[in-house]
């Protein structure tokens, strides 16, 4: 999970997975973590990632947001007229065609269904604290069961 978080937090750098993995393990070794380990091959990461449930990150996001709000100083520049300002973004994502994801998000998808695509799809709705520039909430729902407004209410 730490490795996946490192890979996704790379910002605008477009380094490959292999370079980012090497960077993570080099920095970890310098910090005294994992001193006798080597970076895994990117294919091993891909196999391990498939075993991690898509739901595993929900609690982690909540903890990270709580920690960030504790760490951020209380400044006027992080509010608009004394209030936090949030933006909502909903996006449609095409998911891997695994049986679990298909059943959860788009059971009507598949090549055997006329007029439907092969891959299941989902709505991912993100709430962003505008002035602190960080995501603070997320919902994921089946493509046919939600829209941005309904998910924003949640």
Entry pTM: 0.67
41-48, long-range: CB within 8 Å, 24+ apart, which pairs? 42/16, 42/17, 42/18, 45/3, 45/4, 45/17, 45/21
Q: Return the percentage of the chain with pLDDT > 70, whole number.
A: 89
Q: What is the mean pLDDT of the chain?
A: 81
Contacts of 50 (CB under 8 A, 6+ apart): 98
Residue 10 is predicted with a pLDDT of 58
Residue 16 is predicted with a pLDDT of 74
Residue 87 has pLDDT above 90, yes or no: yes
Residue 9 is predicted with a pLDDT of 62
Residue 62 is predicted with a pLDDT of 87
Mean pLDDT across 119-129? 90
Mean pLDDT across 48-58? 77
Q: What angle do CA 95, 99, 100 make, to 5 degrees?
A: 75
Q: Kind and range of the H or E element at 21?
A: helix 17-30
Residue 8 is predicted with a pLDDT of 63
Mean pLDDT across 99-127? 82
Residue 11 is predicted with a pLDDT of 57
Tokens of 123: 């709505």
Residue 129 is predicted with a pLDDT of 92
- 38 pLDDT tier (thresholds 50, 70, 90): confident
Q: Which residue would you say has higher pLDDT here, 5 or 10? A: 5
Gap between the Cα atoms of 149 and 62, Å rounded: 21
Q: How many CB atoms lie within 10 A of CB 96?
A: 11
Cα–Cα distances in angstroms (integers) from residue 9 to residues 3, 12, 20, 54, in the given order:
10, 9, 10, 17
SS (H, E, C) 32-101: CCCCCCCCCCHHHHHHHHCCCCHHHHHHHHHHHHHHHHHHCCCCHHHCECCECCEEEEEEEEECCCCHHH
């Amino acid at each position: 999970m730490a490795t996946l978080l490192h890979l996704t937090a790379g910002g605008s750098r477009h380094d490959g997975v292999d370079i980012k993995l090497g960077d993570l393990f080099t920095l970890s070794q310098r910090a005294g973590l994992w001193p006798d380990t080597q970076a895994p091959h990117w294919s091993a990461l891909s196999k391990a990632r498939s075993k991690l449930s898509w739901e595993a990150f929900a609690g982690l996001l909540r903890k990270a947001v709580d920690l960030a709000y504790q760490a951020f100083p209380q400044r006027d520049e992080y509010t608009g007229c004394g209030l936090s300002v949030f933006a909502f973004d909903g996006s449609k994502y095409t998911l891997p065609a695994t049986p679990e994801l298909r059943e959860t998000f788009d059971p009507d998808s598949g090549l055997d269904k006329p007029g439907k695509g092969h891959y299941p799809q989902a709505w991912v709705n993100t709430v962003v604290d505008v002035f602190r520039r960080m995501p603070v909430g997320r919902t994921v729902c089946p493509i046919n069961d939600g829209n941005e407004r309904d998910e924003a209410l949640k």
